[in-house]
């Protein structure tokens, strides 16, 4: 049995249903990326929804169509956090009770906001290591209780609701843009984008985190497959398996699909904050991070969906660290010092350059040993300072070992 399709007409019907409830988010000109690409880059600010992501659209499109009997039975949902907030807000507005399953890696900030949006209509159930674990638990709940399951992405009405993001873009621009980039988790937004654009010649690009590339795997296999390993850093798009409803829609349209490394995501998160003043979670920066690997024709209009904005500010220290490592400006070394006065001074004078800074120094003196190891983190003024640093290290009598980012020991510092 083939999966149901979603058309432009379905998206338009959803838009009429949601128009008075969902915020019509702005298209913001991005000078930074426009200058870099020689194009007009516009950010579709879905982080300005009340729930800080487009997920309210699909959730509300499903829940608002429930019968009185179905509303009385309640709903269940699973989410990494953003869909949960959309369901919670929709349920509070419509007076429908919900149980929402969240994986244990859902940031505390997202859990708290789900509870706040639910206003007493929502019960949170936290368990499982990933979104897929939570989704399995929610499905069993629906089967056991008769509540309506509101999927995060794998449902035609959810897809139609998410498609209203791009329908708004087309309306504001008075036509389809030349290029559209959207983040991909389970594929609901990408499938909705394809439906909304119909037969438009727009270049559609789906962007996945490199550590959770379920769409790339599905396209290679010709059908949805389950990833053996999953990096949950971009928790909003960390999905082990692309949707059974969304995949056929995506595969039939053959959009471009690219992946973004974790470090590049962190670099873009910081750039969005420092330049555009946008607080984006990793998945929120996913689509714009892909612009660094994109080539477009001069003067083209490029629309990038920014969603979501549910980032815990306590994560920024980790984000800065990962960005510096990715850019080649932060390195870690094991240095064996002789346990005598002046050893550290000689290291500073002979090895460090004028713009190099020690960001970490972990050392325990052992009185019964001639040498002692130290873990040293060095932040460089620029990535170009790395090779001169290595040459000075080679010339030093000290025994120094570089810790590459793929080393198991690197997990202690990052």
How does DSSP assign 15-69, residue by residue?
HHHHTTTS----EEE-HHHHHHHTSEEEEEEGGGSTTSSTHHHHHHHHHTT--HH
Residue 361's CB is within 10 A of a number of other CB atoms, namely 12
DSSP sequence for 79-91: -SSHHHHHHHHHH
Question: What token pair was written down for 263?
Answer: 């470090």
Catalytic positions, written as ranges: 55, 307
Burial of 196 (0-12, 13-18, 19+ CB in 10 A): buried
How many CB atoms are closer than 10 A to CB 344? 15
Report the C-alpha gap between 304 and 54 in whole angstroms: 13
CA distance 337 to 345: 11
Q: How far is CA 326 from the centre of its chain?
A: 17
DSSP H helical ranges for 277-409: 286-289, 316-326, 343-350, 386-395
Q: Kindly provide the b/e burial profile for residues 295-318, where b requires at least 16 CB atoms within 10 angstroms of the residue's own CB.
A: ebeeeebbbbbbbbbbbeeebeee
Strands of 75-78's sheet, edge to edge? 122-126, 98-102, 75-78, 148-149
303: which 2 tokens?
């629309």
Q: Which two tokens stand for residue 236?
A: 């909003």
Residue with tokens 């490394």: 261
- Which run of H or of E encompasses 306? strand 301-306
How far apart CA 97 and CA 70 sit, in angstroms, is 11
DSSP 154: S
How do beta strands 148-149 and 301-306 pair? unpaired
Both structure tokens of 3: 């999966």
């Amino acid at each position: 049995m083939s999966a149901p399709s979603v058309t432009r007409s379905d998206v338009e019907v959803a838009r009429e249903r949601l128009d008075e409830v969902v915020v019509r988010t702005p298209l913001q000109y991005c000078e930074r990326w426009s200058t870099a690409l020689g194009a007009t880059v516009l950010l579709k600010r879905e982080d300005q929804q009340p729930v800080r992501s487009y997920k309210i659209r699909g959730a509300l499109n499903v829940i608002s169509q429930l019968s009185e009997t179905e509303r009385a039975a309640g709903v269940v949902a699973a989410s990494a956090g953003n869909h949960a907030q959309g369901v919670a807000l929709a349920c509070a507005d419509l007076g429908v009770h919900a149980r929402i399953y969240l994986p244990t890696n859902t940031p505390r900030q997202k859990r708290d906001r789900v509870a706040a949006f639910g206003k007493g209509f929502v019960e949170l159930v936290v368990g499982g290591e990933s979104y897929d674990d939570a989704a399995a638990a929610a499905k069993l709940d629906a089967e056991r209780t008769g509540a309506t399951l509101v999927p995060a992405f794998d449902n035609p009405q959810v897809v139609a609701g998410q498609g209203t993001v791009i329908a708004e873009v087309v309306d504001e621009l008075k036509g389809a843009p030349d290029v559209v980039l959207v983040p991909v988790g389970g594929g609901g937004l990408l499938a909705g984008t394809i439906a909304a654009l119909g037969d438009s010649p727009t270049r559609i690009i789906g962007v996945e985190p490199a550590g959770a590339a379920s769409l790339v795997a599905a396209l290679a296999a010709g059908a949805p497959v389950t990833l053996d390993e999953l990096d949950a850093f971009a928790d909003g798009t960390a999905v082990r398996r692309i949707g059974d409803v969304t995949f056929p829609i995506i595969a039939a349209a053959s959009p471009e699909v690219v992946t973004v490394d974790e470090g590049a995501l962190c670099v873009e998160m910081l750039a969005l904050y420092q330049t555009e003043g946008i607080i984006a979670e990793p998945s929120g920066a996913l689509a714009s991070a892909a612009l660094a690997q994109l080539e477009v024709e001069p003067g083209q209009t490029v629309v990038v969906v920014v969603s979501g904005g549910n980032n815990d500010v306590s994560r920024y220290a980790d984000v800065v660290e990962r960005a510096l490592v990715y850019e080649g400006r932060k390195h870690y070394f094991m240095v064996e010092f002789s346990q005598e006065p002046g050893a550290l001074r000689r290291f500073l004078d002979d090895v460090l350059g004028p713009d190099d800074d020690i960001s970490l120094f972990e050392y325990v003196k052992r009185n019964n040993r001639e040498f002692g190891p130290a873990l040293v983190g060095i932040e460089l003024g620029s990535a170009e300072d790395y090779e001169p640093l290595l040459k000075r290290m080679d010339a030093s009598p000290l025994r120094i070992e570089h810790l590459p980012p793929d080393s198991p020991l690197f997990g202690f510092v990052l």
